[in-house]
Every structure is written in structure tokens, then in C-alpha cells.
Structure 1
Amino acid sequence: MTVSTTRTVTLPPGLVIAPQLPDLLRPVKIRRGVLGFLRGHPTVAIGSALLLCLVLVAIFAPYLGTVDPTALAPAKRTRAPSADFWFGTDMLGRDIYSRVLYGTRVSLTVGLSVAVLASLAGLAVGLVSGFVRWADGILMRFIDGLMSIPPILLAVALMALTRGSVGNVILAITVAEIPRVTRLVRGVVLSLREQPYVDAATASGTRTPMIIMRHILPNTLAPMLVQATYICASAMIVESILSFIGAGTPPTIPSWGNIMAEGRALWQVKPFIVFFPAAFLSVTVLAVNLLGDGLRDALDPRMAKSL
């Protein structure tokens, strides 16, 4: 014998049960840590993987079958790539494989250092210029003057006043890249300072430095982080250009620009001297740009594909 548990509800006259509404919103996907973030943004994953490999190459260069990158061997000059010399040798008999791997240290050091220093300096100037109205005219006229000079020419001019070294290259490129960050941060701050929560903080008597640190600064970090990746890539290219024309790192320090400059005279007969450092430079810049594009898509809510 089966007992039915279904109850019949009797409604008062004039009342009916409304039908169930369809789901209008897509189900929310819960992100599961770093791996979930990388799965949702493959561009970030690819760029990060390439950049991590290059960082490991730079750190462990002495343990990757390299020799002294400055050791001269005139009897072995311009050797083609082989089992003994994987990337061949240059005009002075130096191992190109070792020089390219050690040159990774120079390029990554310059790129990351310039990105950090230019971002911090540009952030400070952009915050003050964008929020303090009376300082905006003074600071931005100086920034406009720097932006009127092409970055590569400004870096060459600054290097002409100093001696060639990695530190001076970082300083010269940083000065040339600060205006880009300053312009970006200033534009973000100009839109943020008109928000109601900033007006409320000002009306409640909050001091300007506290408003900048608590309400303005956190909202500028995401676009500045994306801009820092592009500055890193640009700094590595500028460093290679400076070294290529003889205005960057000294010849005693192996860098991709130096290697390409020394091999340009033999490009038609020994193209491998230029090819390998150029390939490493292209892959490094590609990795940084992929990381920047992925972070832009991930941090911009308008470009997010899912919640």
C-alpha cells in the first residue's frame, strides 16, 4: 500500500502561484587559486613561463655548460655552430653560447630595474600632479619637456655625460621612461579625484596625504603594473640599441647588443653571430609583452570574460 505525501494547497479566491522565473544571470565560476587564474588567462601563463625560463637561464648560466664569456681564442674564431660550440664563435674566438647566456643577466637586470625605478618615480610624480592642482602646472611642464625628446636620444645624451656601465644605462633609460608612467598615473588620478568617496573624505576633514594613500593609490596600481611590463620590454630594447651603437655597456660586459654589434660586419657570411642574441632578445620581449597583455585583460573588468 502506497501512501501519497503530496499536499494540495488551497489558495484563497483571487490568488495564484507564480511560475518559476528563468535564470537570467550566468552561474558564477569560482576561481581556484593561482592555477585557476592561469587557466583562465593563458596569455599570462605563456608569458610567465617564458620569462621564468629566461630568469632561470640568467641565474644558472655558470652551470649550463658555459665557459668564460670573455676568454679569447683567436685560433677558434668564427667557428660555425657545432657540438663543441653550440652557437659558434665570434671574431675573437669567444663562445657565443656563453656570451648569450650571460647577456641574459644584463638585459633582465636592466629591464626589471628600469621598470621598478621608473614606476616608483612616475607614480610619485603622477599622484602629486594629478591630485594637487597647483603643482600640476609646474610638474607637467617639466614632464612635457622630457617627452618632447625621443627616449633613445635622451638616453644617448645622458650616456654621453657618463662612463659606460650597467648602472649608468639603468639610470639613463629610467629618466627617459618616467614621463610615460607619470602621464598614465596623472590621467587615472584626475578621474579618481572627482569620485564621491573622495569628496566625502575631503568633507570629513581627511588630510590630503591620507586621501592619496588610502583612496587614490590602490586604484592606480593595476594600470601601473601593466605599464611596468611594457616599460621593461622597452628598456631591454633601448639597452640593446645603446650597446649596439657603442653607447651602452662596455665591451668587457657581454650583452646582446654588444654581440650583435660585433657580428654585424660578418652578417652576410656568418649570420649566426647576430641571429642567436637577436632571437633571445625577441623571445624575451615577446614574453614580457604577453605577460602585460594578459594582466591588462585580467585586471580590466570591462575585458573580463567571466566573473
Structure 2
Amino acid sequence: MSLPVEPTYLAAPALPDVLPPRKARSRAMRFVRRHPSIVLGGLLLALIVLVAVLAPYLFTMDPTALSPARRTRAPSAQYWFGTDMLGRDIYSRVVYGARISLFVGFAVSAVSSVIGTAIGLCSGFIRALDAVVMRVMDGLMSVPSILLAIAFMALLGASVPNVVITISIAEIPRVARLVRGVVLSLREQPYVEAAVTSGTRTLKIIWRHILPNTLAPIIVQATFVCASAMLTEATLSFIGAGTPPDIPSWGNIMSEGRALWQVKPFIVFFPALFLSITVLAVNMLGDGLRDALDPRLAKRI
């Protein structure tokens, strides 16, 4: 019979887990390597959204405050982006203008996606509505979106809600046609035919079998609609048919500085730069989501 052996050393206490588990780290790094567009585009867009939300706390001043004695001043330590023809601080106007562009982009994307999806689902699944509804959509798509937006703005008047309504009307047919094309292929699937044969109601089939399979292309299309809406809003404001002049937006700022473009290019440069970066971020996010949500492309990555 052996006697118990006294321990000759003491076990050190376990160290706290500072780093995340190896599996979580490797999964995150794998996602970054496989989808760099989603990561980079999402970070850029999140940064711009953060700038817009925190605009009052980012060393800004009243974007509508006039100071004729300080007009068209070049960028300096006091005025980071310079001043415009009325002495307003361009930096403050650009930062606050991000709110208008992001609101219009997100609102148009949401409105056109919801309405376009509803139209596309009904038109693609209910054959009796297809011919009538899609001819109306084709008629709207036959007119260039910018001309259609100008026409509606002339009728409704210049305001931010009217800009959202106008651009949404121009974008709804594109979403509807995309959803209709997906539904036309889904309604021939065996599980849909089995649901129809068993007597399942049409709305239930659309809600449970058709709609979930259209979410991926709808999400991708929504990002492109958001970028297109921002450009359209800037174009309308640039020509004086969009956001009212008393509300700072990137299109308004560029419109006010175009007369001095050759001698004071900074008035147009900074809002154009922010608009370009925002649209680039949204498009990169959309491209990454398209690659991630498409199973055929996902297998290649």
C-alpha cells in the first residue's frame, strides 16, 4: 500500500481570458478575408452615419448663419473647409448636409423596396394582374428617372418629404421588375405547386414560400436604390428643384459654389468628396452583399 505523496508545487491561478476564443477570432478574420467589400463599405457608411448623428458635437456652428464680411474665405484653422459666398461655414454645412442625403437615401430605399416588393409579388404570382401592372411599370421606366423626378417636383414643390416621394416613385418600377422576375421562377418550384394543389390560400403561399426567397435580392437592390437616391437628390438640389435652399444639403452647397468653381473650387470640392465617398461606401456594401447572398458566387470565394 503506497502512501499519499505530498505536492511539491502550487498550481498558479488561471489567467483571465483577455482575447476572444480562437474559434471566434478565426471566424471573424475569415469573414473579413472573404467579404472585404462588406467590411470596408459598412465601416465607411457607419462612420458617415456617426458624423451625421453627432453633427452638433463635431466643432460645428450654425450652418445657416450668415457673415458677409467673411465670405469666400479659403480653408484655414478657423474655417476648416472655408466659407461660401454668404459667409457660411462650409464644414458645418457639409456635416449637417450628410443628414439630408442619408435620410433621403434610406427613406427612398425603404419606401421603394416595400411598395415595389408588394407590386412584384402580386404581379409575379397572380397572372391576371401581371399584364396590367407591369405595363404601368414599363411606362414609368420608359421615362428617365431624373426627368420623372423633376416633373413631380414641379407639381409637389420643393421640400424634403416631396423629394423622398418623388424619387421613390421613380425607383419603385425597378424593384417591382426585379421581384417579379424572381417570383416567376419561384412559382414553378415543386413546393409552391404542392401548396397550390393542397388548397393553401394565395396570401399564405406568398408570405410563407415566396417572400422569404426574395429577401436576398431585395436587400442587395435596396443598397443600390439608396446610392441612386442620394445622387438623384444631389442632382435635383443642384438644379434648384430639390431640397429648399435654406436646408443645407450637398447638392445645394455645390449649386451655390458652381459660379465660383474656377476661382474658389473648395466650395464644390468638399461636398462632392463626401457625396462620392458615401455613394462608394453604399455601392461597396451592395456588391459585397450580392456576393455573400448569391450561393453561386459564394462557392467561388
Settle same-fold status: TM greater than 0.5.
yes
Pair 1:62 & 2:56 matched: yes
Gaps of 5+ in 1: 1-28
Gaps of 5+ in 2: 1-22
Given the alignment, which residue of 218, 226, 230 partners 2:220? 226
- Name 1:262's counterpart in structure 2: 256
* Structure whose residues are more often helix by fraction: 2
Q: Distance in 2 between matches of 1:137 and 1:96?
A: 51
| Alpha-carbon spacing, 1:202–1:33, altered in 2? closer, same or farther (3 Å) | farther
Q: Distance in 1 between matches of 2:76 and 2:163?
A: 34
Which secondary structure does the structure 2 equivalent of 1:210 belong to? helix
Q: Distance in 1 between matches of 2:195 and 2:49?
A: 44
- Name 2:127's counterpart in structure 1: 133
Given the alignment, which residue of 240, 265, 270 partners 2:234? 240
Task: List 4+ stretches of structure 1 deviating above 3 A.
Answer: 29-39
Shift of 1:170: 0.3
Q: Which runs of structure 2 are paired with 1:266-305 in the superposition (5 Å)?
A: 266-305=260-299
> Would you say the 8 A contact 1:31–1:37 is kept in 2?
no
AA of the residue aligned to 2:43: A
Pair 1:197 & 2:191 matched: yes
Render the CA deviation track for 1:169-213: whole Å, top value 9, x for unaligned: 000000000000000000000000001111111111111111111
AA of the residue aligned to 1:158: F
TM-score by length of 2: 0.90
Shift of 1:37: 3.2
| Alpha-carbon spacing, 1:265–1:256, altered in 2? closer, same or farther (3 Å) | same
Q: Which runs of structure 2 are paired with 1:37-186 in the superposition (5 Å)?
A: 37-186=31-180
Q: Distance in 1 between matches of 2:295 and 2:57?
A: 43
> Would you say the 8 A contact 1:233–1:289 is kept in 2?
yes
| Alpha-carbon spacing, 1:33–1:118, altered in 2? closer, same or farther (3 Å) | farther
**Which has the higher Rg, Structure 1 or Structure 2?**
1
| Alpha-carbon spacing, 1:84–1:234, altered in 2? closer, same or farther (3 Å) | same
AA of the residue aligned to 2:194: A
Which secondary structure does the structure 2 equivalent of 1:170 belong to? helix
Which secondary structure does the structure 2 equivalent of 1:161 belong to? helix
Which secondary structure does the structure 1 equivalent of 2:97 belong to? helix
CA RMSD of aligned residues (A): 1.6
Which secondary structure does the structure 2 equivalent of 1:50 belong to? helix
Q: Distance in 1 between matches of 2:152 and 2:135?
A: 20
Which secondary structure does the structure 2 equivalent of 1:56 belong to? helix
TM-score by length of 1: 0.88
Number of aligned positions between the proteins: 279
| Alpha-carbon spacing, 1:30–1:84, altered in 2? closer, same or farther (3 Å) | closer
Shift of 1:163: 2.0
Identity %: 70
